[in-house]
Amino acid sequence: MKDIGFNFETTYTNLPRQFYTELKVSPSSEPETVVINKVLGDSIGLNLSILTDEELATLFSGNHLPVGAKTFSQAYAGHQFGHFTMLGDGRAHLLGEHITPQNIRLDLQFKGSGRTPYSRGGDGKAALGPMLREYLISEAMHYLGIPTTRSLAVVKTGDSVVRESVLPGAILTRVASSHIRVGTFEFAIQQQNPEVIQVLLDYTLDRHFSEVKRQNKSLSLIQAVMERQADLIVHWMRVGFIHGVMNTDNMSLAGETIDYGPCAFMDAYDPKTVFSSIDHLGRYSYINQPKIAQWNLARFAETLLTLIDKDINKSVELAEEIVNKFPEVYQEKWLNMMCSKLGLFEAYESDMQIISDLLEWMVANNADYTNTFRSLSQLERPNNGVYQSETFQSWYRRWQDRLQKNSESIESSIELMKSRNPAVIPRNHKVEEALESATIGNLKPFEDLVSILKEPYTERAVLKAYKNPLKTGSADYKTFCGT
């Protein structure tokens, strides 16, 4: 096969043996390309255009491995819905780290590529629908400006997977800054060997946080991870994204959104929104996301206690001091974000009221989260439908008065709002429609949706068919863990 620019290293396999298992990818019987992300390929130095479809299918099924790749699965643990479990890649193989021409180190991983020692009861496979879902939503997140893993390819394997029905099997090629999770540290601490956790700490600092000060490596790392997590959750809240399964094994230390299973976007604003069919108690609801991020951060900090200070009580005290700061750090970032959604350049404590009044009004009136903010970003005052109400109109006047106090012009406020409030998000019914049709062989709606979502902040006529939620709302919409 032609050289398309792969440039692999595998520093992860320099970690102690426990952290991974080298093993082959299960062969696919008749691989066939479904979607190939040539734009992403180009941006990371891979010239996918020079390969034939057949070669791309062989490559992205793992039937033919690129030079320098070494396939292995990672061990990790995690708190799933609050309960600790030993886990690991049960259906994924890393190929190593591709170094881009810009010298950026990126993990390439196959997902759905067969059983591993960590598969437990699972079959190691993935169905086409959930892999296309991850492709679609992760790419949408990227174009929304949110840190995320990316998707390079989806191929059908030619083999079936048995779920509630028999489905076409598929493999997704995922690109990530790394796959180091809170759960990787939870796994390390289970090894009862201080050296193991120390090695992982050093590796993570070198790989992701070369800029952080290191008087105390562990505390610096906890602090840096907290900042990145707070930034990430603020982004999710900004666009109404609900991850759905914020277990500690799905929390990347690089601060990227990872593992698109039961995630979905909220339509009408309701802080208690949950879509995941298994999240009966709403642990991972929209409004709980920052609290869960803090809970996960606490689990992370616990893994570093032996390294913070020789005196364990002192370690606990120092770690708690950072973790307890999360609500304050988050709140400040959230307030700035909400102010920017309203075109306010500086955020004042007093802006809290105007924001919460709007959000309360939205709950009471079933107002669409995305479309309400986007319509505020136009120059005209919205006054159709629910926006006619006196409560909304008087809120609008208060907001206009507040805008006058901006140091910047009204045009700059509008620009700011248009860059923070998407005109289009992946609407649940459009996602389902695209996936259903792709599973029966018609990729057109999927490709159209992917293409629309590449420019989420630009208003254009073609968006009309993509902007609105279903008239019946999303109250009954259920999502599933993508297996």
Which of 19, 88, 28, 80 lies closest to 59 in space, CA to CA? 28
x-or-dash string of contact with Mg ion, 252-281, rule CB under 5 A = -------x----------------------
Does 250 engage in binding with Mg ion (CB under 5 A)? yes
Q: Which is nearer to ligand AMP, 80 or 100 (CB)?
A: 80
Cβ neighbour number for residue 433 with a 10 Å cutoff: 14
CB-based contacts of 455, cutoff 8 Å, min separation 6 = 143
Is the CB of 223 or the CB of 250 nearer to ligand AMP? 250
Per CB under 5 A, contacts with Mg ion among 315-374 are: none
Q: State yes or no: residue 402 binds ligand AMP (CB under 6 A).
A: no
Alpha helices in 19-178 (DSSP H): 38-43, 53-60, 128-143
245 binds ligand AMP (CB under 6 A): yes
97 lies in the site for Mg ion, by CB under 5 A: no
Closest distance of CB 417 from ligand AMP, Å: 35
Length of the chain: 483
User: Interface with ligand AMP by CB under 6 A: which range of 63-71, 245-253, 413-421, 423-431?
Assistant: 245-253
Query: How many residues of this chain bind ligand AMP (CB under 6 A)?
Result: 18
Which of 87, 144, 172, 329: binder of ligand AMP (CB under 6 A)? Answer: 87
Rank residues 124 and 129 by Cβ distance to ligand AMP and give the closer one. 124
Which are the catalytic amino acids?
249
Size of the site for Mg ion (CB under 5 A): 2
Q: Kindly identify the residues of this chain, within the stretch 110-139, that bind ligand AMP according to CB under 6 A.
A: 118-119, 122-125
223's torsion region: left (phi>0), alpha (psi -120 to 50) or beta?
alpha
Instruction: Output the CA–CA distances (angstroms, integers) from residue 425 to 31, 377, 430, 449, 455, in the order listed.
Output: 31, 16, 10, 10, 10
Residue 249 CB, shortest distance to Mg ion, in Å, is 5
Pick between residue 56 and residue 161 the one whose CB is nearest to ligand AMP.
Answer: 161
CA-based torsion, 336, 338, 341, 345: positive or negative: negative
The C-alpha atoms of residue 414 and residue 343 are separated, in whole angstroms, by: 6
Residue found by looking up tokens 């309203």 in the block: 342
Q: Smaller CB distance to ligand AMP: residue 87 or 423? A: 87
119 binds, among ligand AMP, Mg ion, none (CB under 5 to 8 A by kind): ligand AMP
Q: Which of 236, 229, 239, 264 is nearest to 370 (CA)?
A: 239
**Contact in structure between 377 and 414 (CB atoms under 8 Å):** yes
If binding is defined by CB under 6 A, does position 94 make contact with ligand AMP? no
**Which amino acid would we find at residue 470?**
L
| Contact status: 89 vs Mg ion (CB under 5 A) | no
Nearest approach, Cβ of residue 447 and ligand AMP (Å)? 25
Per DSSP (E only), the strands in 243-389 are 264-265
From 241, 234, 202, 238, select the one nearest 221 (Cα to Cα). Answer: 202
Is residue 10 at the binding interface for ligand AMP, with CB under 6 A as the rule?
no
Binding residues for ligand AMP, per CB under 6 A?
87-91, 118-119, 122-125, 245, 249-250, 259, 261, 481, 483
The residues that touch Mg ion, with contacts defined as CB under 5 A, are: 250, 259
